[in-house]
Structure 1
Amino acid sequence: MSKKRILLIGGAGYVGTVLTSHLLKKGYKVRVMDEFVYENQFAIKPYIGDPDFEIQKGDLTNNQDLEEAIQGVSDVVVLGGLVGDPVTKKYPDASNKINTEGVQSCIDFLSGKDLGKVIFISTCSNYGLIGEDEMADEEFELNPLSLYATAKVEAEKHLLSYKEKADYTGVVLRFATAFGLSPRMRFDLTVSQFTRDLYFGKELVVYDEHTWRPYCHVRDFARLVERVLDAEKEKVNFEVFNAGAEKNNFTKKMIVDEILKHDPEGSVKYTGKGDDPRNYRVSFKKVKEVLDFEPEFTVEEGIQELIEAFEIGVYADSIENKGKYGNFEIKYDGAPNND
């Protein structure tokens, strides 16, 4: 049987590079289309030369780029966009063009192209702020509190509106906050930032230390995407799944406490309310019951692997070379209109 070729739109990013590695090891062919808005071309170097890997510079807002990218493809994973609240707030026009207009036009374009599955990567940030005694399942009311989450909610609705008219099987995965090592490492995410700053002796300032978030290792995200690709249509057809596990619902203080087990002398300052009011715990019952998915990695293990990487000198430049290790600045001129 010939290998399936999977198109990863935005596949050169933090999650996408780990997903690329995973799928290649599992016997898939992988084509990555990425605009490299973070100038993150370096992250694909491990895969160059693999006969089952292809790379195309392209913009998801440009139908000509998409037309070239889908040739010979069986399934598509849409990861692309400006990822995170700070970068979308900093670049609202680009966010609107890429995350709102671009992603929705991409979803439109993919219909009628004889694809198997189209998996849209969304976020648990869509839940925003919920009650302390509540757990958000997939039917919970969405409450996006940022440009980033608002665009994700709109894109989810747009994809789900194709249920009765698309020839592909649409799936939405609401990712928990990611952690874990990646070829395109990010230190602007809670677990990695907290661990790095304390390891290198910086004072860690923590806002709203009792706010809850769910977390999930990037390798577990890759395992879940593979499981969706392999799943029977009736199990996943235009379904929404929270991606993670209850065991990795953590408060910020719980994360700090785990890091301090490795470095009890670390300096931490807890302070009042920051500018991010999100607070949510999430139920992952559906993904476990329907897809038999349970993450392998805990937050504690993610902290441990980061410390082991620091100890051998990996990411030694991560503080002074900030831009390389996070979604802070973009280089994007915008794609031509598709009219």
Structure 2
Amino acid sequence: MWTTETLTHILTPTAIALGNFDGLHRGHRAVMDPILADPNLWATVVTFRPHPVEYFSGQPRALLTPLAEKQEILASWGVQQLVLLTFDRELAQLTPAAFFDEIIVQHLHAQRISVGFDFCFGRERQGNAELLQKLGQEAGITVTIIPECTVDGERISSSRVRELLLAGQPEQVQRLLGRPYELIGEVVRGQSLGHGLGFPTANLQLPARKFLPRQGVYCVEVTAERELQAQPGVMNLGYRPTVDGQTLTAEVHVLGWRGDLYGQRLRVALRHFLRPEQKFSGVSALKAQIHRDCQAAREYFQLPLEQLEPT
């Protein structure tokens, strides 16, 4: 998939989906579908960098789908081009009509546009989906407005995905995304504390801007680029208070597997929240709880249980 931040390096003519698209949930997928229909147009997603909320607040914003992850998902959906519009003062000051003329018509050469029902654009969000459709009609451009998408009566939105992640409800998140929420990163060397306890773990270096779920212990499915394909495991996301941890870490133990994952890119799909992180009285109590966590994960994945080794 071609990715560009330069308006002069765009593959045209285009069919474009406009929006922020953080999370790439099932509602976003519905917005993409109309742009994939015409083989004579470049199926293009147009989004903003940084996120407008981040620009106006001046505060960094954690992302459900950092750029590399967004590129991967969009490509799997059949999107051919990703255009990252730099959201700066100049872009923020464009009127809706100027945004349409300068960006959509002159640079993107759009022949088809798809947006969500709540899409807003132009200075102070003065333009909405209906105005975009009117401008499109005047320019001979087809504009499709996707209505609100729901699952079992619940509106699908990135904000709701964030709320559910912070509540430790990955199953509900999967309903809205259409796939499990994943943490993706490189395995780096840690302090080997898990190995010393009899439960070797892979320490995951996550993207700095990745939105993290509730801290605690999860049942996960782990995929490595060379060694593993969707193997069940247990992940602890937190500060490891029992051993006086100082930094937030994601440690993954793959059930029933031993091997070297250092340097590999790991995908960790969240399946089920087991418990919040807690501080134990000592290492022995921590080891016993890790065993119970692994047993609970084995039950969740319907795997044979293991006997506890003598301590």
**What is the TM-score normalised by the length of structure 2?**
0.32
Based on CA coordinates, which of the two structures has the bigger radius of gyration?
2
Higher relative contact order (CA 8 A, sep 6+): 1
**What is the TM-score normalised by the length of structure 1?**
0.30
**Structure with the higher helix share, 1 or 2:** 1
